Structure 1
Amino acid sequence: MEYLDPMKNLIKKVVKKFYEPHHIVLVNIILENILIYDSELQKKMKISTKEINRLLVSLKEDKIIKLESKVENQEDNRQYLRTVYYINFVEVRDIIKYKIYQITKKIEEDMKNSMKEGYVCKNCDKHFSALDAQCFMSNYIFKCDECGGDLIELQLMSYEDSLNVKFMSSIQDIIELLKDIDKYEIPSMDFFQLSEFKKEISKKDIKVESFKIINEDEFKIKETNEEKQIIHDNHEIDIDDVVYVNGKPKAYKDITDEDKEIMNEEEYEKYFEVFSKYLDNK
């Protein structure tokens, strides 16, 4: 599965570029788990399934995330409905490729249509429109009516065009990744195939883990980390912890939904970290 890491990298870059911080957290969790049930995602995010579905609306509409409802049997033979979330890599690749193509084509057309043309005097820097320059021609050469200097053709880039150039530069890494991923044969996998794929990966991880040899120093480090974790878990979380909103400090307990909407990725991840610790210790 050589395509897996490049595809994960591509999806993370696209979500980071075009979506909100909470989308980034959700997609990262789904990518790490290959596929994940609503109950598991709810535990990891510390929010309700209803809230998760609300946050995932745009990702579902853009077909980045797929979901399916599964009827499963409980031990008492009662049936219940579960929702599973996953990513179909080949479908997402094609969608991203098409969207990027549309974006770049639109930008190129806009820049071509909005390019300001005209003439400028080499001597005094006076500007002329193409129509005005026609009135000041001498021996088939456009001349300035102020100083008599030669006029040279000029193409001015608008402010909007300069922003488009910057945007094109910012998605260049996504374009390069798409080119690189084109060399891989990516299969289309449904829920059942992804379930088997996840089991295979889990088996490989278990085998690798079983062959690891822990030396004395590593054991001491592990032991120390476990002690620190115990201390941390028993430490009372201060709900007055400060997080940042749009670069400004604010008490965690005072954070509103509006604040979360304007947080950048780093700020939202810090908020989510405090949020998770608080719930774990309630």
Structure 2
Amino acid sequence: MSYEPLLHKLIRHTLRLFYQPHHCVIMDILLEKLLLRESEICSAMKMLSKEFNKLIVRLKEDRLIKQESKIETTIDGRQLLQQIYYIDYREIKDIIKYKIYKMSTEINEHLREQQQQIGYMCAECKTEYSVLEAQSLVKNYRFICPDCNTELIENRNTEVDPHELHALMMNDLKDIIDMLKQADNYNIPTIDYFQALEMKKNKEMKAGVAVNRTDESAREGEEVADTRGYEASYTFEELSGIEKKTEGYEAVNGEELGKMALNEMLSKKDESLVTDKSLEEEIFLNTTRSDDVEKSEQHLLDVQNEIMIRVSGVSKAFSAVTEEDKEKMTEEEYETYFEVFLKQNE
């Protein structure tokens, strides 16, 4: 769906602005899968169900995630009550808009209250006067205290200017407001449990097709590499004095290459005067060289297939990441690591 990337960005930005990190992790997992059982989320976060329920309370209260209770039958015939969580994009968008509206309304209400409470105070005797009382104390277009004849000053009960507070809020919410305006251009439907389940199945099916295509492409590449082989060219003159250069040998394995070298040297037995010992050394050297080629190629494939993760701006192999590296990661780097971790454990 074309609106999904925009809604994902909106939800992630809102969560990181107003919620705790564990709320962001829970929402990121749900955005990836759309619908999950409580046990699946607990397994992904490596925590117990009791701990998870404490963390997810605020998300449920704010209605950013929806919960469905289902009775499932186990293999041994027992019935268990499963809690299933999923995301309704339409409801989340409306809730974010409503939250911003409430914030703006509360600030404006606070502004009106502050304006009504504005009065005047004598800087000398600290006597306070309301706006109506100060109007009767005007002398020469100034408010003068009747007790000490000192000019009255404006008395504000707050150190924070509500106008400035409202401007700061709108500046911080600018990106969210822009994304909400873009989301209004899409017809986003309301999603219930069964629709979310169907969407998840379709998403997994598309992902499976993409993985199969990738695997087929990789297998085709391996087949092409196998048909070409590793063409080796060895000069036997350097090893045994035979003035002949073998070309085009298919280094499929060390045993085949050794046989080819053996046949070559036997055909030149009368010319080369090679002893049985030198013949065995020749076979051993060619076999070792072939094995080294295979090991080098395998190591190169392993390095190319290794997933790299950034730790404090430095690239590091995913398999080599330690707990200490996780603590050094920035928030974005840990999100990337967590996504790779989920894919590796699927």
TM-score interval w.r.t. the shorter chain? 0.5 to 0.7
Please report how far the alpha carbon of residue 144 of structure 1 lies from its aligned counterpart in structure 2 after TM superposition. 10
For residue 193 of structure 1, what is the aligned residue in structure 2? 195
The CA distance in 1 between the partners of 2:46 and 2:7, in whole Å, is: 27
The CA distance in 1 between the partners of 2:26 and 2:63, in whole Å, is: 14
Q: Which moved more, 1:32-41 or 1:10-19?
A: 10-19
Please report how far the alpha carbon of residue 266 of structure 1 lies from its aligned counterpart in structure 2 after TM superposition. 3.9
TM-score normalised by structure 1 residue count: 0.65
For residue 68 of structure 1, what is the aligned residue in structure 2? 68
Distance 1:219 1:108, change over 3 A: farther
Higher RCO, Cα 8 Å, sep 6+: 1
The CA distance in 2 between the partners of 1:229 and 1:117, in whole Å, is: 61
Please report how far the alpha carbon of residue 36 of structure 1 lies from its aligned counterpart in structure 2 after TM superposition. 0.8
Contact 1:36 1:84 in 2 (8 A): yes
Contact 1:114 1:158 in 2 (8 A): no
* Aligned Cα root-mean-square deviation (Å): 4.0
For residue 170 of structure 1, what is the aligned residue in structure 2? 172
Asked if 1:55 is matched to 2:55, the reply is: yes
- Please identify the structure whose Cα radius of gyration is greater: 2
For residue 159 of structure 1, what is the aligned residue in structure 2? 160
For residue 247 of structure 2, what is the aligned residue in structure 1? none
For residue 183 of structure 2, what is the aligned residue in structure 1? 181
Distance 1:185 1:242, change over 3 A: closer
Please report how far the alpha carbon of residue 3 of structure 1 lies from its aligned counterpart in structure 2 after TM superposition. 1.7
Matches within 5 A, 1:201-216: 201-212=203-214, 213-214=217-218
Deviations 1:122-172, CA, capped at 9 Å, x for gaps: xxxxxxx9776886676xxx5799xxxxxxxx9x99514233321221112
Please report how far the alpha carbon of residue 81 of structure 1 lies from its aligned counterpart in structure 2 after TM superposition. 2.1
Please report how far the alpha carbon of residue 190 of structure 1 lies from its aligned counterpart in structure 2 after TM superposition. 1.3
Amino acid in the other structure paired with 1:179: K
Amino acid in the other structure paired with 2:19: Y
The CA distance in 1 between the partners of 2:77 and 2:327, in whole Å, is: 47
Asked if 1:91 is matched to 2:91, the reply is: yes
The CA distance in 2 between the partners of 1:241 and 1:182, in whole Å, is: 41
Amino acid in the other structure paired with 1:223: N
The CA distance in 1 between the partners of 2:198 and 2:211, in whole Å, is: 20
Deviations 1:64-123, CA, capped at 9 Å, x for gaps: 1111221112223322222111111111222221121111122123234435989xxxxx
Amino acid in the other structure paired with 2:93: R
The CA distance in 2 between the partners of 1:229 and 1:79, in whole Å, is: 40
The CA distance in 1 between the partners of 2:307 and 2:32, in whole Å, is: 23
For residue 7 of structure 2, what is the aligned residue in structure 1? 7
Could you say what secondary structure the match of 1:159 adopts? coil
For residue 29 of structure 2, what is the aligned residue in structure 1? 29
Contact 2:68 2:85 in 1 (8 A): yes
Matches within 5 A, 1:70-149: 70-115=70-115, 142=141
Where does structure 2 lack aligned partners over 5 or more consecutive residues?
Answer: 120-129, 145-153, 226-296, 309-316
The CA distance in 1 between the partners of 2:142 and 2:307, in whole Å, is: 79
Please report how far the alpha carbon of residue 221 of structure 1 lies from its aligned counterpart in structure 2 after TM superposition. 4.6
Amino acid in the other structure paired with 1:45: M
The CA distance in 2 between the partners of 1:225 and 1:33, in whole Å, is: 22
Could you say what secondary structure the match of 1:56 adopts? helix
Where does structure 1 lack aligned partners over 5 or more consecutive residues?
Answer: 119-128, 146-153, 245-264
TM-score normalised by structure 2 residue count: 0.54
Q: How many residues align?
A: 228
Deviations 1:179-204, CA, capped at 9 Å, x for gaps: 11111111111111111101111122
Contact 1:90 1:188 in 2 (8 A): yes
Deviations 1:239-272, CA, capped at 9 Å, x for gaps: x88958xxxxxxxxxxxxxxxxxxxx949x69x9
Amino acid in the other structure paired with 1:2: S
